[in-house]
Chain A
Amino acid sequence: MISRRNALKVGLTAAGTGMTTKLANAAGGPVPQSGLIFPQTFTPSIVERPSPPATPFVAPLNVMPIAQPVNPASLVPGPDPLRHQRYDEFLPQKHYVQRIGEFRWQYHPEPPYDQGTWSWGFNGITPGETYHAYYGEPVFLRRINELPPVGAGNAAFPLPSVTIHLHNAHTASESDGIPQDYFNPGEFWDHHYANFAAGFDPREIMGTLWYHDHRLDFTAPNVYAGLSGFYLLFDEKDSNNERDRNPEAFRLPSGKYDVPLILHDVQFDENGQVIWDFFNPAPDAGTMTPTALYTTNGMVGDRFTVNRIIQPHFKVERRKYRFRILNGGPSRLYDLSLRADSSRPRKAVRKGEKFFVISTDGNLLEEPLVKKRIEVWVAQRHDVIIDFSHFAPGDHVYLVNHLEMRDDGAGTTGRELDEGNLVMRFDVVESKRKDPSRIPDEMRELPTIDMREVRKERLFVFDYDNGLWTVNGKLMDPNRVDAAIEQDSAEIWTFRNAGNSWVHPIHTHFEEFQILEVNGKAVKKGDVLRARKDVVSLGPNMDVKFFGRWRDFLGKHVMHCHNVVHEDHAMMIRWDIVPPGEGD
């Protein structure tokens, strides 16, 4: 893990800006620079032109509404089964419509934010509605592009041509929302989500999925403009019912106690409008004057938003909650903890300042892991249970981001929680009812790894070349098949970061994998990496080897860096699932 720690250090440019990262400052002033993806010689423009101030914890958390189905007869033209693999086998039982459009969204109630920020979203909101879907209940979702055409909208930087990917769903190519499958203003695309476990293996059941734009060349600006949302899957064990009488049910906190949180860092101009700012002053170790320039490093904003609200507060009862924490990007990485301002004795409070991690990358673990910190790279998800019964009414509990302690020789003092950025605040109130939810001892078993299924091993080297981001020395070409994987086979992939200062959250679509080794060492029990994953945290000079299967469908998919600015420039490959015997 050494190199991973170094990777995170890379972001600590605050040292060069004279900014402190103390709690008080973090709350009021511009956000300190911990958790960036930039090298030390790089000063992002958020230091030079901070967003207008916004008093933290004034705005209540936005909790997205649950998507409601429509009458399928209202879809004109109707669904066409000949356009979807295995449609008749997984006949849709619920139908939905999402209209993608432009509107003003209020990130914060104070000026200039109160005027609303031109944003893109689904059915008039960002993030879009949260889907509650169930295994065995296939979904049909029509998405209609109602964005103003190029040059006609108010948000200039994104492209009003979209493709919406359902991240980590086991979905056929044509419904996956691959970068090439875009639809323009005035057009729609039909998505068929079959909602069955890969290989019909119940151990492959997933839970926290999200949807977001994946437009070729424009994913970063389009997601940044607002195109993201949650899609949650339930089954008889993770049943969306904390009072479930089925003895098999996990009875995780549910209903209003199951809250998705998507973190986006955003930068605003003096009018409260979102800036897509590639133009970062970048002094370079004293060799030249500062320069405004376009970068392909990443886009980092200085306002932490949760569900597209700047530093919100959320009223919580003294009981257990399930939070589905997702880093929606575009580029920032987080290392999160909890810190309470409490009237209760410190010892008691400390019991509450921890996460029961029940899933990573959206998939329930074998057993909950108790963690003080969770590292959340772009597109990664952690489902956590927080037990607020350890706190008293009136207490404040902060979700704090601090990637890494500064390596200044002071060492760990036990005061590390004093540092960090306050992402949001939980305001504890008394609970009227008994908490029926549980933290189960055991959850989902991991699928068996059978090396006899392995047909091929592949190595993917991620690097930087000429200002661009390469995979095996190449940039993305949708007409080139970089891997032809035989259906129903397994493969072993190694991701190698050839760079010594960059980190890449690498995501591959379609089916989860299990990490075998990190830098040649096996993943141990108790490590959050011992899980079904879909994003690899690839630190500098790091090697990650995993086992994956490709089942159930044929067609085109992609693997790419989920620092979406890297993805657009063009750290991505196309891979295909092909019939047995036709692989490369």
Chain B
Amino acid sequence: MEERRKFLKSLGATTVGATAAGVAGSLAVDANGEAAATTPAAPVKIDPRLRDAFPDVEVTAHTGEKFRFYDDLIRDKVVMINFMSTRNEQGFPVTAKMADIAAQLGDRLGKDVFIISISRDPAYDTPRRLAAFAQKHGVGKGWYLVTGTYAAAGALETRMYRHKHESGALTSALCTGRDRKVDIVFYGNGGAGVWGTFPVDIRPDDAATRITWVMPGKMPTGAPRRAGPRRLNAAERLSHNRDA
């Protein structure tokens, strides 16, 4: 506690938007998420009132295209976001699972919904390596494997779901996600500002259904329609009681 207080004092003020990634000491980032070998770290700006608090860092896709993470990939889009690493696919086959979900989505992928897979091992996962990896997993239209700096990856990962700061101190285990046993897919609608998560190991058809939950809906007309419960049937084994 004492240590922290001193630390805060040394900062002068703990401005809300101020943030950091690249806190491992050797890496720092500027507002564009570019890494530089300086100490101490300059923060990646995350303003919680803007862009659904996504850091608008620059990332490079397996296609070689460069994107602003929020402006180009999130704003006004329905997306699924996950973290991966090519070196850890064997240990935690998250990309294979995303490929199953992509297959369920069919041609809605790239039209109604996009997948963004962020490498948490950006130094190793160069765009070239990601391209080869993408080919192996049949990554097609509407799915981007992206890489950038440690800082950018760390800022994104921190934004999504980590409350601890391992993402700042990128050890090799964390880069590759070697110790990972559970994980989530972050999904939402950048236009509406609604965000949720689902565990990555749910059934692909379930995952493909969940992404429809955050798609823009139509204002209903006419009399309300019954959603359930459906008629009882002891033989069926569905996971819910809704009308089919």
* Contact yes or no, A477 B214, CB < 8 A: no
A 161-202 to B, binary, CB cutoff 8 A, 1 in contact else 0: 100000000000111001011111111111000000000000
Q: How far is the CA of A290 from the CA of B14 in the complex (A)?
A: 7
Interface stretch of the complex, out of B3-11, B61-69, B108-116, B129-137: B3-11
Q: Contact check: which of B19, B206, B219, B229 meets A290 at CB < 8 Å?
A: B19
Name B126-164 residues within 8 Å CB distance of A. Answer: 158-164
At the interface, yes or no: B79 with Cβ under 8 Å from chain A? no
At the interface, yes or no: B21 with Cβ under 8 Å from chain A? yes
Q: Contact check: which of A146, A161, A279, A479 meets B203 at CB < 8 Å?
A: A479
At the interface, yes or no: A65 with Cβ under 8 Å from chain B? no
* Least CB distance, A480 to chain B, in whole angstroms: 9
Chain B residues contacting A520 (CB-CB under 8 Å) are: none
Chain B residues contacting A287 (CB-CB under 8 Å) are: 23, 165, 168-169
Interface stretch of the complex, out of A75-83, A373-381, A436-444: A75-83
Interface stretch of the complex, out of B30-38, B99-107, B187-195: B187-195
Name B212-239 residues within 8 Å CB distance of A. Answer: 213-232, 234, 239
Chain A residues contacting B229 (CB-CB under 8 Å) are: 83-84, 174-175, 181, 189-190
Give the nearest-CB partner of A218 in chain B: B196
At the interface, yes or no: A580 with Cβ under 8 Å from chain B? no
B 34-62 to A, binary, CB cutoff 8 A, 1 in contact else 0: 00000011010011100001000000000
Q: How far is the CA of A211 from the CA of B14 in the complex (A)?
A: 39
Q: How far is the CA of A175 from the CA of B228 in the complex (A)?
A: 9
* Contact yes or no, B217 A151, CB < 8 A: yes
Number of A-B contacts (CB under 8 A): 257
At the interface, yes or no: B1 with Cβ under 8 Å from chain A? yes
Q: Contact check: which of A283, A555, A570 meets B197 at CB < 8 Å?
A: A570
* Least CB distance, A97 to chain B, in whole angstroms: 10
* Contact yes or no, A473 B182, CB < 8 A: yes
* Contact yes or no, A291 B161, CB < 8 A: no
* Contact yes or no, A182 B163, CB < 8 A: no
Chain B residues contacting A289 (CB-CB under 8 Å) are: 11, 18-20, 23, 40-41, 43
With contact pairs A82-B232, A150-B214, A290-B18 given, residues A284 and B164 touching in the complex (Cβ less than 8 Å): yes
A-B interface, 6 closest residue pairs, ranked by CB to CB distance from nearest: A186-B220, A149-B217, A174-B229, A180-B240, A183-B227, A288-B23
Taking A85-B232, A286-B6 as known contacts, 12 extra A-B pairs with beta carbons closer than 8 A to each other, sorted by chain A number, are A150-B213, A156-B193, A159-B194, A187-B225, A187-B226, A217-B196, A278-B53, A288-B23, A293-B158, A293-B162, A466-B182, A568-B197
Residues of A near any B CB (own CB < 8 A): 15-16, 40-43, 45, 48-49, 76-77, 80, 82-85, 144-146, 148-152, 156-161, 173-175, 178, 180-190, 216-218, 277-279, 281-297, 465-468, 470, 473-479, 554-556, 568-570, 574
